[in-house]
Chains A and B, each alone.
Chain A
Amino acid sequence: MKLRRPFRASRPRIDQEVDGELEFHLQMRQRELMAQGLREDEARRAALARFGDLTHARQELLRLGHERERRRRPGRWVSEIRQDVVFALRQMTAAPAVTLVAIATLAVGIGATTAIFSAVDSVVLRPLPIPDPNRLVVVGETWRDSRAGNISVGSFMDMAEEQTVFDAVAAAVVESVTLSRDSGAERVLAGRVSASFFDVFRQAPARGRVFRPAEDQPGRNQVVVLSHRLWTSQLAADPQIVGKAIILDGRPHDVIGVMPASFDFTADSEALWIPIAFTPEQRARRDEHYLDVYARLRAGVTIERASQEMAAIGGRLAQRFPQDNADRTIQIQPLLDLLVDDYRARLFVLLGAVGLVLLIACGNVSNLVLARGAARGRELAVRNALGAGRGRLVRQLFTESLVLGVVSAGVGVAAAHGLLRLLVALAPAGVPRLEQASIDITALGFAVTLGMTASVVFGLIPAWRAARIDVIASLRESGRGAGEHRVKDVVRSALIAVEVALAVVLLVGAGLLIRSAIEMRRVAPGFNPSGVYSARLTLPASRTTAESLTQTAQDIEAAVTALPGVRIAAISTAVPGFGSFFNGIVPEGEARESRNAREARSRFVSPGFFRAMELPIVRGRSFDDHDRAGGPLVMIVNQTLAERLFPGQDPIGRRAFCCNEHPKTIVGVAADVRARGPNRPVESEFYLPIAQVDDVAWGWTRRNVFLVARTDGDAALLRPAVRQAVSSVDPGIPLFSPMTMDERMARTVQTERFNTMLLAILGGVGMLLAAVGIYGVISYFAAQRAPEIGIRLALGARRETVLKLVAGQAAVPVAAGLVIGGIGAVFASQLLATQLVNVTPTDPLTFAAGVLVLAVVALLAALIPARRAAALDPARIFRSR
């Protein structure tokens, strides 16, 4: 260590080093000559003579030594990088058109990808804003092979009692309640929840307290916890709110607490919570499955263990209560999975699609940089000859790519901000947490990573080319060395092929969704939604009996039917796409046990419902005014249910059990309705006359019904008149969610439409970028071959020949791209399989169309520069050279 130090310290003193080295050399030479017999002074002179110009050599060595020290200094990297960056910026501004195109192309790719990523992050990736969200599960009863569904109160109580795997279990039912204030009544979503609900989510109130177990009892549950959203939006964030009362469904409830803002999971989650307070009768019921059950896994308990215990409890319940629980079991599912299940696949497909667009963009920029690299071949060669190492040149080119990538990422983030707002605005309602999406740190990091990665991807090929640059050839041939030319052409052609292939995948994907959308339009909904007005309303809480509720419903129906322009109005507990409950139906003759039950959706309707909806009765009769309370019990089933109850037989006149112990006679068969959208299978459904609905069944509806009215004109214009007509019956009846049936049906497919629109846009952008890429490369080829073209033209070649020659250069890579893309699309389209209706993922028509469209676009993109080349004046070409 001590030995070395002096040397190190002396290092910067280059003059000493040079002099020392030279002196050593001269002395050694002198000694050698003296050994040959020369005198000391003669030997010195001879050594000096042998050396040549010492002064000049010394100066040269000092210069080289200083240069070396400059490189070795630790700051050298920084200063060189700064040099590179400054140089890169100068290069970019020197060719503004190329730079702008490159930045715009990349920014589109980065922006779109970042926007979609933010959406995916917000909806799927980001954890719920609650402690240990991964330990939260949803508990559901399943019936045979169906998906986990809601639990009956009886099963819930038993499960909660017997379970040992959860820290906390809570039941919840979400319904709308009327919040009355001086300024008027309003419908808000309320969660009726167990006292332990907030324990499950481990959420403490921001103000006041949450429910005590004692408040989860009938008669003591006139208390309410508000959401932060309701507190701020409706109650002016009143700091004294705790202790005050608000009127819910006509009854005062004491506000005991306010939840923090972080508990507002989505814009349409519950606005307030009330204790669910089961009555002893409710606790005993096992045939109504309507509870959502949430639970928090105890520490150390795995999902598997909890699943096993739930299955065991479900099995015991099935033995104890075979009539209701046979064939049922209890399952659990992580809450986050349930929340985002539907959207996860779709969003990842979108993310994949924008990724492809980004890759195409990278291909284009790579081509641009390559073209510029060719133009700069001479510059690079000169710099190499002047002593810039190859590593240095490659680094320089890489820095340029990186600067381009970073600038593009900046522009892209700005674009992503706008795109994301557009996305959120256009997205269908109810996508969980989407409205919380923003360009945050995660998204910024993503964009910057993307920019860096993209710049590496598109910078790699040109930099690799530069590293292999042949100095002499470049200098001699001004960067148009024949061999290099050919290699680069191959690279360019490969880029075109890849771009075309990616665009084919995008186009086929978009095409499949578009075809599916067209197919969906062709699917008849089973009724005529045009010209039908619909709205929800809640019958007043003062009507406590089935009779009075039916009477009020009939009064409203009569008042609306009397309106001018209304042909017929009807009341129903459900309309296609909304409402309805699941009930088990058992045909008479089979034991009334759950293993014989067919699950079907129930709707309680007034007689005019089928005419108002133009829903055909295909056999038997519709309901009429004779189907009243106390009369013979009747029902209408849809075709699907008829076939399941009495396969191959005439169901008219047969009887079946549902909802209670009284069998009902089937008087009619209604046409199947695509109630949940054209892409969902038809479900079993049955209709009961609203007049024959008993108190229990009215309880399920919570007095919420739909009003439907068929009009001669525009259904949307009916809104004010209907409001007035309903008020004339009872001014306290709130009317909400007014919509035409067309609008309601559109909602069932809005997610699909949104997806289709996005993928179509991405497909279009991808195709356009690929076309730009082809155009650019063919233009470049044409420019490279301009002298040859000139000679051919001068020798009398026809313009068509030149056209073919130039455009033909795109033929092979485009054809290769089309084939590769077609094969890739076969695999990629499998991801869309679940979203397609009546279209197979390998639909030949769509594939052919996608490939054809791209082939035509590619041809056009190649023809434009080819025509320009063919129109060249040979004399001009030669003069310019």
Chain B
Amino acid sequence: MAPDQQELLHGTLETLILKTLATGPRHGYAIARWLETATGDGLQIEDGSLYPALYRLENRGWIRAKWTRSELGRPVKSYQLTAAGRRQLVANVKAWSRFSRSVSKVLSNP
């Protein structure tokens, strides 16, 4: 990936994670799966970049991690949105739609 795209995705990935957790707590793998299906695998996010993003979000207080047990009884770390994260999500979505509107305006003009 080109550095520019990486930076673009950096913020986008975080927003997507927040969006994923908006419906309820999930563990890392479930988030990865949800992103794959929801985007139709269009973004091709490396699993390796998902976890640092999760950790950063947690450090910022936007999501909270909790150890629970999986369906198979294994300890598993699941993440859930905090109130601050919910606000951030709203702000990010707004910023994104502003951004995408402007971009598509430019690109769709002949």
- A-side residues, CB < 8 A to B, are 7, 17, 20-22, 24-25, 28-29, 32, 50-54, 56-57, 60-61, 64-65, 67-68, 71, 387, 389
Contacts and interface: CB of A to CB of B under 8 A. Distances in A.
A746 B70 CA distance: 92
Nearest to B59: A68
Nearest to A53: B48
A29 B27 CA distance: 13
15 contacts: A17-B77, A20-B75, A21-B76, A22-B51, A24-B76, A25-B28, A25-B47, A25-B51, A28-B29, A51-B47, A57-B48, A57-B49, A60-B51, A61-B55, A65-B55
Nearest to A21: B77
B60 interface: yes
Contacts of B28: 21, 24-25
A5 to B, nearest CB: 11
Contact of A52 (B47, B55, B76): B47
Contacts of A24: 27-29, 70, 74, 76-77
Contacts of A54: 48
Contacts of A65: 55
Contacts of A68: 55, 58-59
Given A24-B27, A24-B29, A56 B48 contact: yes
B67 interface: yes
B75 A25 contact: no
B75 A61 contact: no
B9 to A, nearest CB: 14
Given A21-B77, A50-B47, A60 B29 contact: no
Given A17-B77, A20-B75, A24-B27, A64 B55 contact: yes
Contacts, number: 64
A29 B11 CA distance: 25
Given A17-B77, A24-B27, A24-B29, A71 B59 contact: yes
Interface in B35-78: 46-49, 51-52, 55-56, 58-61, 67, 70, 74-77
Interface of B: 27-29, 32-33, 46-49, 51-52, 55-56, 58-61, 67, 70, 74-77
Nearest to A10: B67
B51 A21 contact: yes
A815 B36 CA distance: 64
Given A20-B77, A28-B29, A389 B61 contact: yes
Given A60-B52, A61-B52, A25 B67 contact: no
B30 to A, nearest CB: 9
Given A387-B59, A389-B60, 20 more contacts: A7-B75, A21-B28, A24-B27, A24-B29, A24-B70, A24-B74, A29-B29, A29-B47, A32-B33, A50-B47, A52-B49, A53-B48, A54-B48, A57-B48, A57-B49, A64-B55, A64-B56, A68-B55, A71-B59, A387-B60
Contacts of A17: 77
Contacts of B61: 389
Nearest to A54: B48
Contacts of B46: 50-52
A53 B70 CA distance: 26
Contacts of B77: 17, 20-21, 24
Given A52-B49, A54-B48, A61-B51, A67 B59 contact: yes
B29 A25 contact: yes
A21 B60 CA distance: 20
Would you call the interface of chain B mostly helix, strand, loop, or mixed?
Answer: helix
Nearest to A3: B69
Contacts of B51: 21-22, 25, 57, 60-61
Nearest to B66: A7
Nearest to A59: B52
In the A-B complex, the 8 residue pairs with the closest CB atoms: A52-B48, A64-B55, A52-B46, A57-B48, A28-B29, A51-B47, A7-B67, A60-B52
A59 to B, nearest CB: 10
B41 to A, nearest CB: 11
A261 B67 CA distance: 70
A64 B52 contact: yes
A51 B49 CA distance: 8
A28 B70 CA distance: 11
Contacts of B67: 7
Contacts of A7: 67, 75
B37 to A, nearest CB: 12
Contacts of B33: 32
Nearest to A6: B75
Given A24-B27, A25-B29, A71-B59, A51 B48 contact: yes
Contacts of A22: 51
A51 B32 CA distance: 11
A64 B67 CA distance: 18
B48 A64 contact: no
A513 to B, nearest CB: 55
A146 B58 CA distance: 77
Nearest to B31: A25
A71 to B, nearest CB: 7
Contact of B59 (A50, A56, A64): A64
Contacts of B49: 52, 57
Nearest to A7: B67
B17 to A, nearest CB: 14
A389 B84 CA distance: 12
A671 to B, nearest CB: 82
A651 B30 CA distance: 113
A265 B90 CA distance: 68
Nearest to A22: B51
A7 B29 CA distance: 20
Contacts of B32: 25, 29
A387 B59 CA distance: 9
Contacts of A387: 59-60
Contacts of B58: 64, 68
Contacts of A71: 59
Contact of B52 (A29, A57, A389): A57
Nearest to A67: B59
A21, A32, A61, A71: which has the most chain B beta carbons within 10 Å? A21
A559 B49 CA distance: 112
A286 B72 CA distance: 105
Contacts of A51: 46-48
A51 B33 CA distance: 13
Contacts of A32: 33
B46 to A, nearest CB: 4
Nearest to A72: B59
A60 B46 CA distance: 15
Nearest to B55: A64
Contacts of A64: 52, 55-56, 58-59
Contacts of A56: 48
Contacts of B59: 64, 67-68, 71, 387
A51 B55 CA distance: 16
A389 B62 CA distance: 11
A53 B48 CA distance: 6
A432 to B, nearest CB: 57
A77 B47 CA distance: 34
A25, A56, A68, A389: which has the most chain B beta carbons within 10 Å? A25
A144 B75 CA distance: 91
A57 B46 CA distance: 11
A812 B77 CA distance: 60
Contacts of A60: 51-52, 55
Contacts of B27: 24
A118 B33 CA distance: 70
B14 to A, nearest CB: 13
A29 B29 CA distance: 8
Contacts of B47: 25, 29, 50-52
A20 to B, nearest CB: 7
B99 to A, nearest CB: 12
Nearest to A55: B48
B56 to A, nearest CB: 6
A60 B48 CA distance: 10
A625 B44 CA distance: 126
